Chain A
Amino acid sequence: MDTTAPILEVSGYSLDYATPAGFTRALDGVSLGIAKGEVLGLVGESGSGKTSLAWAVMRYLPAGAKESGRISLAGKELTAASPAEIDAIRGRRIGMVFQDPGTSLNPTLTLGEQLAEVLVRHRGLSRKDAWAEGEAMLARVGIQLPAAMMRRYPHEASGGEKQRVVIATAFACQPECILFDEPTTALDVITARQILDLFAELQDETNVASLYISHDLAVVSSVCNRVAVIHRGRIVEQGPIAEVFAAPRDPYTRMLLAAVPRPDRRVIETVPEPRADALLEVDKVSVIYGRKPFLAALLGRVNTQFTGNREITLAMQPGEILGIVGESGSGKSTLARALTGLHPFEGQIRFGGRPIHGIADMDRAYRRDVQIIFQNPDSSLNPRQRVREILSRPLELYGEPGRGADKAAIAGLLEQVRLPADFADRFPHQLSGGEKQRVAIARAFASNPRLVICDEITSSLDVSVQAAVVALLVDLQQRHGTGYLFITHDLNLVRQIAHRIAVMYRGDLVELIDVGDLAAGARHAYTRSLLAAVPAPLAA
């Protein structure tokens, strides 16, 4: 690709944010260029400054930000542009696609209005013409009934449809450059795939210069020509995708690449012993959300019930890692809620041979044996308790009497999750995301459980932190022989760690398959489409 005349050029750009404690450096001497028709991937972990760069290009910086260096669009210097010039460039010459279409669209305006207003503003169309043009744009981005979609409000459209509207808006004025800020992160795997396909198509057609910001190296490798790796505000490595991913020069890039889950790199070697007595048997478990039909009828509503799980049947051996995958709303977490007694269920669970018919049967012994770790440690750890208090609670409940206050016991738990013993005196907010999740893991293991349910426990973590947490889980599994119900939407990750995979779709368990057999091909159509949607593992 010709990079001699970049559309967007950033050179020696540094940015500092003003904080009460002084200036913090967000970007440090960043230089990059994107030519016409080129897609540059900007890869980095949270806090690396990748989104700050997007704000800098859009000239959307907080008061008191200090910057140096240059950002130019087709020769026009943006850092020196007047507010009026910036207004004319935003949306007209530089478009932007945001991470979460759920929050980036105004809930009280129709989708059509939010698309058409850009055309009215920047292309001087009349409202009527803009509306017609908007319909054509929606048809172009693959919306089935564009005229109807124009009249809908954001809450009446799916996540994928909303993101298509946002993309149509970004492309509406034929900009020279578009910034994509993690455009598929908030979407389900299959929807994300469709959005990526749409992106590639529009990219080919319009020859726009794109900056594709993402934390996901697999996605970047599939849609970008070149990649820039950003770490703590500095671009540590930059070059064509194939070169950087095949032969990374920078140690940080190497670490990042090594942390990306790859199905062919199994992290678990053991195979659970095939035993006659299963650890957990789930027999025709159904979960129904919503009001009882009688009450609903009384209130004049036709049907308020929603089936979260429909007659799920599965079994787990002791020490087995069973992965559960599926898109959001497929019932993965619902099953976790039923198994931990957080929601009533119909059907039967047998744990270690003991029948559990409902929440009432989940006694202390059951709760000791079945523990859960949640997705977001920020909300699952009490912010007003020190780590010591958080960990002493399960020790008191399930351990020997008086063990809760035992310093050695808490230090032992922390040591198990590879945290220093003096973390006991810290509050959750004094820990990083990965450290917090380790505390949550330690809390779950405090009762020496036989089954730990991991509900998307790595999805809020950076890829390198995720790799460390997964390694920790594998280590604990080998030490204690614990079984895991590992719920995730990341198919590559689950193929690394699980023995078997249960695929869920709209409340049903559609397939239960050995990880080894997955490569040979899945039987169920949904599993196949899920596999096809996952970005190909890195080429290297």
Chain B
Amino acid sequence: MSPAYVLKRIALIGYTLFVVSLIVFAITQILPADAAVMLLGENATADALAAVRVQLGLDAPVWLQYGRWLIGVLQGDFGVSMRTGQPVGPVLVEALGRSLLLALFAILLMLCLAVPLGIVAAIRRGKATDLGVSVTSYIGVSVPEFVSATLLILVLADWLQWLPATGYVPLTEDFARGLKHLVLPVLTVSIILIAHVSRMVRSELVDVLHTDYIRAARLKGLSARAVLFKHALRNALLPTITIVALDVGYLLGGVIVVEEIFALPGIGRQLIVAIQSRDLPSIQAGALIMASTYAIANFLADMTYAWLDKRIQYG
């Protein structure tokens, strides 16, 4: 992995985010909402509206508005929320932190379960274990998160009363209670991830186990363990890394739904509130932050891939 490759990838992220910023800004321009009307209400006079527009810089040409906004963003200033009058940045970053915690736990749980499940299914290919994992995965992939969330709440919170159904407590405030509140959202988000990734690991591993070099490793007299963990797994997990990074995209979408269901004040929930109240600076900032998260996740995946597979030298 050459420094040039890393730099090139970083430059590519910058370019991607620039395009995203253009799109996000364009979309908020198209939205059928007048920020001045939103601020002053339906009954404001034309003069008052005009004054607010000048104050917000909305009378300037679109490209100038974009330029001002972009320069602000680059300085970490995402503008002021039209709903609360507070700076958008700090609020969203705090919300992002809660969402990332949720995503982190979900990914950890996924890695702990999906990879072993995939391996077991691949080794016992065609046997009952494989069939069990496959069928469960199919079900897991096909159930939408609002259904699985509802079922989980019904069973674990309502019937068994083991866990709180909704709400959020910061881990710093009360660690045990905070964790309890996270269990259901994490489970909900990770079900589809686990199902998807275990299927991926299984099929990749099955392919790798049929390659010439695995046969060669076996015929060198290596133990089954060495063949699997040293020779096969690394090659099988490589494509999985890319898939996990792509799943981050799903995760971001899923987080919006799950946070809404479990009343978890993360970035998804902030975004929904912002959209409902036509809070343009919050929408722009939220969308941009989500896009950045996705881009960075994919960047990390590419770096890991290049580190594990020395052949990678993207031109």
Binding site for B on A (CB under 8 A): 58, 60, 87-92, 96, 98, 100, 103-109, 117-118, 121-122, 153, 155-156, 166, 169, 299-301, 304
CB of B53 within 8 Å of the partner chain: no
Please, how many angstroms separate the alpha-carbon atoms of A89 and B315 in the complex? Answer: 45
Contact partner, B223, options A106, A121, A153, A300, Cβ 8 Å: A121
Residue of A nearest to B214 (CB): A106
Contacting pair B308 A104 (CB below 8 A): no
Residues 203-238 of chain B, each 1 if its beta carbon lies under 8 Å from chain A, else 0: 000000001111111111111001000110011001
B204 shortest CB reach to chain A, Å: 13
Question: Are A98 and B222 interface neighbours, CB within 8 A?
Answer: no
Distance (whole angstroms) from the CB of B130 to the closest CB of chain A: 15
CB-based A-B contact count at 8 angstroms: 77
Query: Residue among B211, B212, B231, B308 with the most chain A CB within 10 A?
Result: B212
Main secondary structure of the interface of B (DSSP, over half): helix
Q: B309 to A105, Cβ gap below 8 A?
A: no
Are A87 and B230 neighbours in the complex by a CB distance under 8 Å?
no
Partner of A121, one of B216, B226, B238, B311: B226
Given A90-B219, A122-B221, A109:B230 Cβ within 8 A? yes
Chain A CB within 10 Å — which of B214, B215, B218, B220 has the most? B220
Cα(A62)–Cα(B189), bound, Å: 41
Give me 30 A-to-B residue pairs in the complex whose CB atoms sit less than 8 angstroms apart, sorted by A's number. A87-B222, A87-B223, A88-B221, A89-B221, A90-B219, A90-B220, A91-B219, A91-B220, A92-B221, A96-B216, A103-B211, A103-B212, A103-B213, A104-B213, A104-B216, A106-B231, A106-B235, A107-B311, A108-B310, A109-B230, A117-B226, A121-B221, A121-B222, A121-B223, A122-B221, A153-B310, A155-B310, A299-B315, A300-B4, A301-B315
Tell me if B177 is interfacial: C-beta within 8 Å of chain A: no
Closest residue of chain A to B7, judged by CB?
A: A300
Chain A: minimal CB distance from B210 (Å): 11
Please measure, in the bound complex, the distance between the C-alpha atom of A156 and the C-alpha atom of B315, giving whole angstroms: 17
Q: Which residues of B contact A104 (CB under 8 A)?
A: 212-213, 215-216
B8 within 8 A of A: yes
Determine the residue in chain A with the shortest Cβ distance to B224: A87
A117 touches B222 (CB 8 A): yes
Could you tell me if B8 and A300 are in contact, using CB atoms closer than 8 angstroms?
yes
CB neighbours of B217 from chain A (8 A): 106
A212 to B272 CA separation, bound complex (whole angstroms):
71
Whether A108 contacts B308 by the Cβ 8 Å rule is yes
Q: Does A91 contact B221, Cβ atoms closer than 8 Å?
A: yes
B213 to A107, Cβ gap below 8 A?
yes
Chain A CB within 10 Å, residue with most, of B214, B216, B231, B308: B216
A266 CB, nearest partner CB in chain B, Å: 39
Chain A residues with Cβ below 8 Å from B311 are 107, 153, 155
Inter-chain CA distance A169–B216, complex, in Å, is: 11
B residues bordering A, Cβ < 8 Å? 4, 8, 211-223, 226, 230-231, 234-235, 238, 308-311, 315
CA–CA, A60 to B214, complex, Å? 12
Q: Report Cα–Cα, A91/B215, bound state, in Å.
A: 12
Which of chain B's residues has its CB closest to A99's CB? B212
Which A-B residue pairs are the 10 nearest by beta carbons?
Answer: A91-B221, A90-B221, A103-B212, A91-B220, A104-B216, A106-B213, A153-B310, A104-B212, A155-B311, A108-B234
Residues A105 and B235 in contact in the complex (CB < 8 Å), given A90-B221, A300-B8 = no
Q: Which residue of A lies closest to B310 (CB)?
A: A153
Shortest beta-carbon distance, B304 to chain A, in Å? Answer: 13
Residues of A within 8 A of B309 (CB): 107-108
Distance, CA A121 to CA B230, complexed state (A): 13
CB-based nearest B residue for A84: B223
Contact present for A60 and B221 (CB under 8 Å): no
A residues less than 8 Å from B220 (CB atoms): 90-91, 117-118, 121, 169
Cα distance A108–B307 in the bound complex, in angstroms? 10
Identify which of A90, A100, A166, A169 contacts B218 (C-beta below 8 A).
Answer: A90
Give the Cβ gap from A60 to chain B, nearest Cβ, in Å.
Answer: 6
A172 to B, closest residue via Cβ: B220
A contact residues around B231 at 8 Å (CB): 106, 109
User: Which residues on B sit within 8 Å (CB–CB) of A301?
Assistant: 315
Give 20 new A-B contacts, CB below 8 A, not counting A103-B211, A103-B213, A153-B310.
A104-B212, A104-B213, A105-B213, A106-B216, A107-B213, A107-B309, A108-B234, A108-B309, A109-B230, A109-B234, A117-B220, A118-B221, A121-B220, A121-B222, A155-B310, A155-B311, A156-B310, A169-B220, A299-B315, A300-B8
Q: Is the CB of A107 within 8 A of B235?
A: yes
Contact B219 A58 (CB under 8 A): yes
**Complex CA distance for A483 and B230, rounded to whole angstroms:** 54
Q: Which residue of B lies closest to A179 (CB)?
A: B219
Residues from chain B with Cβ under 8 Å of A118 in the complex: 220-222
Contact present for B221 and A304 (CB under 8 Å): no
Chain A residues with CB below 8 A from B238, complex form:
108
Q: Are B212 and A100 in contact (CB under 8 A)?
A: yes
List, in ascending order, chain B residues with CB within 8 A of A91's CB. 219-222
Indicate the member of A104, A105, A118, A166 with the most B CB atoms within 10 Å: A104
Alpha-carbon distance A90/B227, docked complex (angstroms)? 14
Q: How far is the CA of A105 from the CA of B231 in the complex (A)?
A: 10
Contacts of A103 in B (CB 8 A): 211-213
- Look across to chain A and name the residue whose beta carbon is closest to the beta carbon of B126: A63
Please, which residues of chain A bring their CB within 8 A of the CB of B218?
Answer: 60, 90
Shortest CB distance B13–A (Å): 16
Chain B proximity of A311: nearest CB distance (Å): 27
Closest to B232 in A: A106
Q: How far is the CB of A20 from chain B (nearest CB, A)?
A: 14
Measured between beta carbons, the chain A residues less than 8 angstroms from B226 are 117, 121
Distance (whole angstroms) from the CB of A159 to the closest CB of chain B: 14
Q: Which residue of chain A has the shortest Cβ distance to B211 in the bound complex? A: A103
Q: A263 vs B212: C-alpha distance in the bound complex, in angstroms? A: 36
Whole-angstrom CA separation of A96 from B212 in the bound complex: 13
A222 to B136, CA, bound (A): 58
Closest residue to B235 on the A side, CB-wise?
Answer: A108
> Which residues of the partner chain A approach B235 to less than 8 Å between Cβ atoms?
106-108
